[in-house]
Structure 1
Amino acid sequence: MGDQAIRAALDRHWAASDANDLEAEHRIYREDAVLEYPQSGERIRGRRGIQWSRAAQPNRKRFAVRRITGAGDLWVTEYVLTYDGRPSYTVSIMEFRDGQVARETQYFGDPFEPGPSRAQWVEPIA
C-alpha cells in the first residue's frame, strides 16, 4: 500500500471517528493491532478490544485533525480530541503493516494558560 492509499485510509479513519461510526473507524486496524496510552499505562490488544473499549466511553467525542504527516509505515496525526466540550491536544503515532495499523500510541495534552514571561515573543494560535 502506497503513501497516498495510507493517507486516504487515515482521512477515512478520522472522519469516521468524528462521526462516531465505530465500524468504519476501526477498519484501519489489523486484527492483532496494539493500542497504547502511555499516560495511563494502558495497552489494548486486538481490533475488537480497541473498538469495544472506545464504544464503552460515555463521553461525546469530536475529532479535529490539525495535521497528518508520514511516509511508508510510520504516520503521525496531530488533532484536537474534544470530550463533552473539553479539548485535549492529541498525537497519534501509527505503525502500519500490510496496509493496516499494527501499533498505535496516543499522547494527550490538556490546554494550559500561556506563560507571561514569553508574551513578547508569541502570537495566539487561532
Structure 2
Amino acid sequence: MTEDTNDISVLVHEFWTLMGSNDFASVQAVLGEQFMLEWPQSNERIRGVARFAQMNSEYPAQGPWRFTVNRVVANTVSEAVSDVTVTDGSMTARAVSFFSVEAGKITRIVEYWPESYAAPANRAHLVERIEQVTAYRQRCAS
C-alpha cells in the first residue's frame, strides 16, 4: 500500500469494516505489531494487537456491534481522524478516533467517547436541532 492520504482513509474504513465483522481477531490484519490504543477520558492504554482483540471480544454487548462511519479526515501520510456511530442494538454511542499510521499499518489510536447531553433551554432561541445521522443519511439516499 502506498502511503498517501487516500490510502490512509481506505485503511481507516477497512479498520471499521473489520470491527463491524465482530471477528476482532481479524482486525489485527490492519494493525502494526506495536499497536496501542489510548482512552484519555478513562486514563487507559491497551498495548498489543492480541489484547486489543481480547478486550473487544470480552466487552459486554446486547448484540453484534455495528459501526457507521460518519466521516474520515486524513490530511497527512501518517494521520487520520474518524467520527463513528457505534451500536449493539441496545445502546448507541459516538467515537472520535485519531489514527497514527506507519508502513501501511495502524500503530496507534487515541479515542474519545463523548457523552450526549440535553441542550440547555437558555439558548433554544439561537439554535436548531440536528437530525440524527441515520435519518440524514436516509434522506440523502432517497
TM-score (normalised: structure 2): 0.80
Query: Which of 67, 71, 74 does residue 67 from structure 1 map onto?
Result: 71
Q: Which moved more, 1:100-109 or 1:60-69?
A: 60-69
1:14 is matched with 16
The CA deviation at 1:95 is 0.7
Q: Which structure carries more relative contact order (alpha carbon 8 Å, separation 6+)?
A: 2
Which amino acid letter does the alignment assign opposite residue 6 of structure 1? I
The CA deviation at 1:63 is 1.4
Q: Which moved more, 1:61-70 or 1:79-88?
A: 79-88
Distance 2:28 2:124 in 1: 42
When Rg is computed on C-alpha atoms for both structures, the one with the higher figure is 2
Which amino acid letter does the alignment assign opposite residue 62 of structure 1? R
The CA deviation at 1:83 is 4.1
Q: Where in structure 1 are there 5+ consecutive unaligned residues?
A: none
How many pairs are equivalent? 126
1:79 is matched with 84
Alignment of 1:1-126 (within 5 A): 1-59=3-61, 60=63, 61-71=65-75, 72-126=77-131
Q: 1:9 and 1:42, CA in 2 relative to 1: closer, same or farther beyond 3 A?
A: same
CA RMSD of aligned residues (A): 1.6
Runs of 4+ residues over 3 Å off in structure 1: none
